[in-house]
Amino acid sequence: MKKILALLLALSAMIPSSFGQDDQIRPAAVGISFFLNDFVTPNRIRTTSLSRVLADKQWAKTADMSPGIAVSYFKGLKKHVDFAGTLAGSFVRYPFPDRPMGSSDRFLLAADAAANIKMFPEKFWFTPYFIAGIGGHMYGGKYFGAFIPLGLGLKVNFFDDAHLFVNSQYRVPVTTETANYQFFNQIGIAGRIGQKKAPVVIVPPTPVLDTDKDGIVDTADKCPTVPGLAKYQGCPIPDTDKDGLNDEEDKCPTVFGLARYQGCPIPDTDKDGINDEEDKCPTTPGLARYQGCPLVDTDNDGVPDEEDKCPTVPGPKENFGCPNIEAEVTKRVDYAANNIYFATGKFVLLARSFKGLDEVAKILKENPALKMSIDGHTDNVGSDANNQKLSENRANSVKNYLVRKGVAADRLTSTGYGETTPIADNKTAGGRQTNRRVEMKLNY
């Protein structure tokens, strides 16, 4: 039977009141209620625990509570929030904290202001709600205290004029010397104050013809068969260039454009044929392959970097942007290369090679932009593998010597070609001697 009653109560709470309300906000109401002060149960909860009180059924009996009468005022603030103010009086023996209980009952006057947070608006029969607010009391005419009321309640509407309310507050003391924890259990009835709002009677308008259903009657519609807007006298919004922006908002109404440019095409500020969204230099004419920027010429020698073999060193166009190497310098380097000597079958430089190599080191240090390739070659005596290794080691020996003389290693490259690139006939002693060589070539 209890389950059936609970189900009927839940279903009733979800059904709107058949009599309705003026609106969904609670009208002003005044109520009177009976209540019971319970100090026993909170004390048992705080001295043991809530679970123990529940398990042992240690809730206070009615005889342990103090009755009283209260007057309340209610007013809806929003659909789900009501204001509730209560003034309550009762005779109790107040249990002050850390103080002996008095010998007789005295008058306790308590007042609180709270917000009732409702689950449903006024149009429902049953409305559960949460309570939170602030309150104070006067006991015996000389003790004053403050508390915070927290709790749950239920409001039952009777037509539009009255309602039953039931709630239980847990009052948490703020002034801990003059207030104690208590339950405030209340049941009462409240009635509306003030007059009801007169129902608004809306006379249905006389039917008029609106063929295109755009809300503009045909007699005032310049496009009666096409839905439109009132500001265009019933016609659609004009969009001459069909770019999705109506002409009133389109700064270029006859040219297709984009909304972010107010209906105009993407701008090309520098008129180089590349729109500003893709142009990395939007104010300077440039080329598409440079993303709208001008030709890059890092060394300002008149040869763009894409054609300049020496983009960081100025040089004439005839030499692909690289400086010309003076013939005298080339001659001095060639002389040094022709006078490089190694121990027979080894890659140890002989001392008579040093003078020429010192001259080469000096040239490179005086011309920091110059680089050099060092190529080692042998004759065809011996195995291919040994000759290849010997040519690499001899080229490296020259490179290492120049590095020791202060030339940066990254300006020098050394390569061994073994016996693969002879410049003379290996069948003669003179030819073989010519083929055993180190070539040094300057470059940028």
Q: How confident is the model at residue 242 (pLDDT cuts 50, 70, 90)?
A: confident
Instruction: Give me the CATH topology for the region 327-443.
Output: 60s Ribosomal Protein L30; Chain: A; (3.30.1330)
CA 74 to chain centre: 44
Specify whether the CB–CB gap between 79 and 25 falls below 8 A.
yes
Whether the pLDDT of residue 183 is over 90: the answer is yes
- Among residues 126, 112, 134, 118, the alpha carbon closest in space to that of 186 is found at 112
Tokens of 417: 């070609």
Residue 217 CA to residue 210 CA, distance in Å, equals: 5
Specify whether the CB–CB gap between 243 and 250 falls below 8 A.
yes
Integer distance in angstroms from the first to the last C-alpha of the chain?
103
**Which stretch of DSSP H or E encloses residue 390?**
helix 384-404
Q: What is the pLDDT of residue 422?
A: 95
Q: What is the pLDDT of residue 123?
A: 79
Q: Which of 112-116, 156-160, 199-203 has the lowest mean pLDDT?
A: 199-203
Q: Phi and psi dihedrals of 39, rounded to 5?
A: -100, -15
Residue 63 CA to residue 1 CA, distance in Å, equals: 29
- Among residues 152, 173, 193, the alpha carbon closest in space to that of 29 is found at 193
Angle at 273 between CA 299 and CA 256, to 5 degrees: 155
Q: What is the pLDDT of residue 14?
A: 41
How many beta carbons lie within 10 A of that of residue 185, not counting itself?
20
Residue 388 CA to residue 333 CA, distance in Å, equals: 24
How many beta carbons lie within 10 A of that of residue 68, not counting itself?
21
**Are the folds of 11-192 and 327-443 the same?**
no
DSSP conformation class of 242 = -
Whether domain 11-192 has CATH 2.40.160.20: yes
Q: Phi and psi dihedrals of 384, rounded to 5?
A: -60, -45
Whether the pLDDT of residue 26 is over 90: the answer is no
Q: What is the pLDDT of residue 111?
A: 94
Tokens of 214: 């755009």
Please give the average per-residue pLDDT across 260-272, as a whole number: 81
pLDDT in tens, 57-81: 888 898 889 999 999 999 989 989 9
Q: How confident is the model at residue 214 (pLDDT cuts 50, 70, 90)?
A: confident
Q: Please state the pTM of the whole predicted model.
A: 0.43
Residue 155 CA to residue 255 CA, distance in Å, equals: 65
Whether the pLDDT of residue 5 is over 70: the answer is no
Specify whether the CB–CB gap between 340 and 433 falls below 8 A.
no
Cβ-based burial of 49 (10 A; exposed 0-12, middle 13-18, buried ≥19): exposed
The residue ranges of every structural domain in the chain are 11-192, 327-443
Residue with the larger pLDDT of the pair 147 and 268: 147
